[in-house]
Each structure stands twice: as C-alpha cells, then as structure tokens.
Chain A
Amino acid sequence: MLQIKNLFAKVEDKEILRGINLEVKPGEVHAIMGPNGSGKSTLASVLAGKEDYEVTQGEVIFNGKELLELEPEDRAREGVFLAFQYPIAIPGVTISNFIKTAINEKRKYLGEEDIKAVDFLKKIKEKMALLEIDSKFLGRSLNEGFSGGEKKRNEILQMAMLEPQLSILDETDSGLDIDALKIVANGVNKLKSDQNATIVITHYQRLLDYIVPDYVHVLYNGQIVKSGDKSLALELEAKGYDWVKEEVASLA
C-alpha cells in the first residue's frame, strides 16, 4: 500500500528527514516512536502534503501512485488521512457541515454522487456512538473551544466518516487522560480491517497497550534506526531512548 523510499525532507534549510525507508501493507499497524525532534511529526506532515516542507530526495508510492506529486486534497481523496496533533479551530463551520463537505469532495473525485442527507446522518450517529460523542457536538463550530480530548475524538470521528485506507495518527495520545485514550483507541481498533492500515506516531508506549502494533520503528535524527515488534515499544518504555542513541553513535 505504502512504500517510502529513501525520503529526505527539510524545512527552512534544516534537514529533518534523512533517508526514511518504510513499507506498510494492508491490515498492518505500524508504530513510529522516537525522542522529541527526531522527525516524527515532520514525516506525518510530509505524507499529508504540508507546504512548509521541501522533499529533497526519495519517493513515496501509495497504491502505485507517486504520493508526493499529488495536492494535499488529492492525497486525502486517494485515502490518506492525517489525524492532527493540533487540530485547527475554524469558527463558523460546524462539524457536521465540515465532514459532509469532505465526504462529498472525495465522492466527487471518485465520480460518485453526493451522500444522501439521511445516510450521512445515520452513519455519523453510528460513529459518534462508537466514540461516545454527544449528539450536540455536531452543531458546534469545528474545534472551537474544544477540550484536548474533544479535539482528538473529533479527529477520529472524521477518520471514521472518511474511511481512509491509510490513517496516520500524529501524537493522538498527547493531552489525553486514560479514559479518553481508551475511547479513542477503541474507536481506532473498531475501524481496523484487513484493507486498511494505520501508522501510529507516539512518544509514549501507553497508547500501544490499546492499539497494538505489528511493527515498531524508532525514528532518530531523521532515520529509522531500529525496527521490531511490539516488545520494542515496551523496551523503550522501560529503558528510555538513550540506549538507542548510544547504539546509533557506536555505529557511526
């Protein structure tokens, strides 16, 4: 589904990604961990198409297409979803209208009709129940005055409604208490299938107790320096990142 090959990216002349290689297949969950400043969020932003980042080398293939050649909106319509670490507030745009617009933009791209109002309502109610979201939520302005937990749940609600093939969760656990974390993780797990894949970017292991990864990668200094299964996450939790850093240093 996704192949990242030797990806280099910089922002304002500072090189942040320095040769990332990663392959994600349908049905898989990959966790990307790493200390602050290692390039985790940059990787997410580059995949989603944020303009501030300049890709200097490498390629990303998504379902056979050159992802980096696509506009951000077309990446989304092709099935890439980024759950933002810091979702943006847009006063005056209700959640309901926003999600409906996004769905219809995707449908238009795929040559489909707009979603019927009843179908939309039925679907969103179902997904809201899954994420334990109150129905009053729909009429609220997007992310305006939302608590941290509400913002993150709203991200996962959008994910549930847009049904992406590849979801990238950027520090979705940051700022969540344990109850909210469980609800969000439960939502993500229920949306999992053998057709779609998830990349979970996180600093801490805790989220991975609930969203169990097939692979864990350690990002450090813009490179994936270590990969393993879920036990790697536990090891990082117990020992911190210093040993990884030392390993990298001794190899250099």
Chain B
Amino acid sequence: MQLQNVTILCFFASYTGALILELTQFLRQSRVLLWSSIALTAAGLFAQTIYLVERSRQTELPPLLASTQDWVLVSAWLAVAFYLGIKAWDRSLSMGVFVLPLALLLVASSRYVSDQPNPRVAISYQWSMVHASFWVFGIFGVLLALVISVMYLLQHNRLKHKKAELPALHLLSLERLNRLNWWLIVTSVPLLTLGMITGLWMSYLSAGSEQPVSLINVAFVANALIWIAMTFLFGWLLVAKNATGRLVAWRTVLACLFLLVTLLTIKFLSADSIHARDLV
C-alpha cells in the first residue's frame, strides 16, 4: 500500500470502531472485544502517524508547523498515544470511553480547518516551533484535565449515590483524579502562558517583515481570552483553601469546554488570521 493513500478517514474509522467496541463492554464484558478495541486504536494511531509523517514530508515542515489541520491532528495523536500508554500501564482502567470521543472530535474537526502551510514560519523557524509546542502541549494538558474532570464527576456521582462500580467503568480514585487534575492545570497554564509570550515575541519579530502580524484580530483576542480563563482557574487552584474536588472538576470542565469551543469556532470560521495562510 502506498503511504500517500492513508487518509484521515482511515484512522477516523479505526478510532470509531475502537470506541464502539469499548462501548460494547457496558453490555457484555469480553476480553476479545477489549483487545480488539486496543488493536483498532493502535492501528488507527499507526495510520495517523504515517499520515502526519507523509504530510510533514510533503510540506517540508514538522507537523506542528505544517498547518492548522496538522496541528489539530497532532493534538488527537497525543491523546490517543496517551490512552494507549495508560492501557499498557493498567488495562482495567476505562479511559477509552473518554479519550476516544475527544480524539474523534479533533480528527473530525481537522476536516474543516485550513490544511495550508503557515506562511509565517519563515520569520523564525525556531520560535515558531517553540511557540507551537507550548500551545499544543498546553492545550493537550487542558484537554486531559477535561477528561480527568469528567471522570472525577462520574466517580463522585457514583460514590455519593452509593452505586456499585460498573465493571466496564473502572475509574481512578477521587484522590488521584483530583491530584492529576490539579497538576495538569498547574502545568498546562504556564505552557499556555509561554505560548502567549512566544506568540507576542514572534509578532514583534514580524513587525519588520513582509507579513507583519497585527494583534488586533479575532484570533488573538480569542486566544487571549482562553489564556485569561485558564489563568484564573490556575490562580484559584493555587489560592483556594476550601475547594472541594468536585468544584475543581466542574470549573475545569467549564474552562476546558470554553477553550475547546473557542478554538474550534475560530478555526471553523477561518478567523485565525495569525496561523492561517489567508489573511482576514
């Protein structure tokens, strides 16, 4: 098979199949189906890796810098790789039902965002790489915090309502979920901050170039709002003394949803005049 023939549909189908198999565990626990789900996920990840490598080869840019589409796909790739890593560590943990829908959402979204290479990479390749890495890892951390918070809320709800654990939904303890959530926010927000700072620095560097970046645009305002929202959450987490895990989880979910909706909206509306080829 030619590597160029690998399309987004290939790994989207693999992840969908894996999610369906994961959901069947709620109806009937089966080792075969569980392994099949893991195998499909791994196959999807392999296909996605090939796709990203091939795209990178075509654009002669690393995936993080190639285009908005690649950037979204890298986020999905990280989520799936993280999921498989968790499965290798503890097979009993039910992560698939949380991570796979998120990965599918990102992969599906990638169809609707620009796949054209970012023209401003030329201003400073190194700074672009640093800026993209901070943002992608920051956003990846926030998305993971969303998953962990949803898990926390489900576990909390089960324990408060005194229900027995579903065999297909084995989650981490509240104590660990709360700790993970805290660390994810506390590490993601500085990454997002560094992403903002490097972005501002690149905007300053572009001032004398042929394609200067204006900060008066929707994308910058939206990204700044995301950063402010996450920074508020970060500050509150550090100073709040009597915050319950449930409250932290709810606030994290809201902040993360705000981030996700804002990011995808500006990408869908092609309002990203900073990272896209077509300027508004």
**Do A and B interact with each other, yes or no?**
no
